[in-house]
């Protein structure tokens, strides 16, 4: 469904970043260029923590250069140890837009932004998830990561009654409808994204999944297998909190 631009909503795009010196500048410049035709009033929030490379330095330069230009603000958060979920949560809580988009610096999929904002503005859903596992999606990541994502979603279905296909996809949501859900999340790191979607689903928020094409600009910085122990621990904690404590 096409919307008339510019829309009334202000859009916040939250992007967690960690050791991204190789692509940060180009990704932000390119994202801003691709947002231009939308005519949005938006802010990009770079939510960094724990980087040991030049990510923070580059982030500060970008803020100086681009903040407040062409309807787009640029902010940088930079606090503490590497922690994806914590950075995402802090970024969302700082966001001021009516619609919040959760991005990843290696994806920056403006086609998803446009489609998701349309769906939210027309009132079809309050939370839109870009699924790399739904019918019609195209996952160009290595097969092992695709299979790992399928196994992870299967585990969430089994343990937590998750009804969708992917909790780790890009997301967009109406801020007032979901901000309390964000605040209620207990786990951080990788599993924060799953807890957020599962809590929203259990609260019967109107969720729509849309298939996306995932093509990363670079392989992930953290090895898949190194993430497994913490993911299992967090899923166990979440299962106890949701299923047993209620």
Ligand X SMILES: Nc1nc2c(ncn2[C@@H]2O[C@H](COP(=O)(O)OP(=O)(O)OP(=O)(O)O)[C@@H](O)[C@H]2O)c(=O)[nH]1
**Residues in the site for ligand X, rule: CB under 6 A?**
15-18, 20, 47-50, 82-84, 87, 104-106, 168, 220-222
To ligand X, the closest distance from the beta carbon of 2 in angstroms equals 29
To ligand X, the closest distance from the beta carbon of 119 in angstroms equals 21
| Closer Cβ to ligand X, 6 or 220, answer by number | 220
To Mg ion, the closest distance from the beta carbon of 216 in angstroms equals 5
Q: Which long-range contacts (CB under 8 A, 24 or more apart) does 4-7 make?
A: 5/37, 5/38, 5/39, 5/40, 6/38, 6/39, 6/40, 6/41, 7/40, 7/117, 7/121
Query: Under a CB-based contact definition with an 8 Å cutoff, are residues 218 and 23 in contact?
Result: yes
User: Which tokens sit at 58?
Assistant: 């580059």
| Closer Cβ to Mg ion, 126 or 166, answer by number | 166
3-state secondary structure of 122: coil
| Closer Cβ to Mg ion, 13 or 119, answer by number | 13
Residue 234, binding choice from ligand X, Mg ion, none, Cβ under 5 to 8 Å by partner class:
none
Residue 139, binding choice from ligand X, Mg ion, none, Cβ under 5 to 8 Å by partner class:
none
**Residues in the site for Mg ion, rule: CB under 5 A?**
106, 216, 220
Which DSSP letter does residue 69 get? Answer: B
């Amino acid at each position: 469904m096409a919307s008339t631009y510019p829309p009334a909503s202000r859009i916040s795009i939250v992007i967690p970043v960690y050791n991204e010196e190789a692509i940060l500048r180009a990704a932000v410049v390119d994202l801003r260029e691709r947002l231009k035709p939308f005519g949005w009033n938006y802010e990009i929030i770079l939510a960094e923590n724990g980087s040991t490379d030049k990510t923070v330095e580059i982030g500060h330069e970008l803020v100086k250069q681009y903040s407040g230009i062409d309807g787009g603000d640029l902010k940088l958060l930079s606090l503490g140890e590497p922690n994806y979920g914590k950075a995402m949560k802090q970024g969302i809580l700082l966001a001021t837009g009516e619609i919040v988009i959760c991005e990843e610096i290696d994806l920056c999929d403006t086609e998803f932004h446009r489609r998701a904002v349309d769906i939210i503005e027309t009132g079809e859903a309050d939370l839109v998830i870009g699924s790399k596992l739904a019918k019609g999606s195209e996952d160009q990541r290595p097969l092992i990561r695709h299979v790992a994502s399928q196994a992870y979603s299967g585990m969430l279905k089994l343990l937590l009654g998750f009804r969708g296909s992917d909790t780790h996809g890009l997301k967009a949501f109406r801020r007032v409808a979901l901000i309390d859900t964000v605040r209620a999340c207990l786990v951080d790191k990788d599993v924060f994204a799953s807890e957020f979607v599962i809590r929203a689903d259990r609260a019967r928020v109107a969720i729509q999944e849309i298939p996306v094409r995932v093509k990363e600009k670079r392989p992930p910085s953290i090895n898949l297998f190194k993430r497994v122990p913490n993911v299992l621990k967090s899923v166990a904690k979440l299962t106890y909190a949701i299923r047993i404590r209620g």
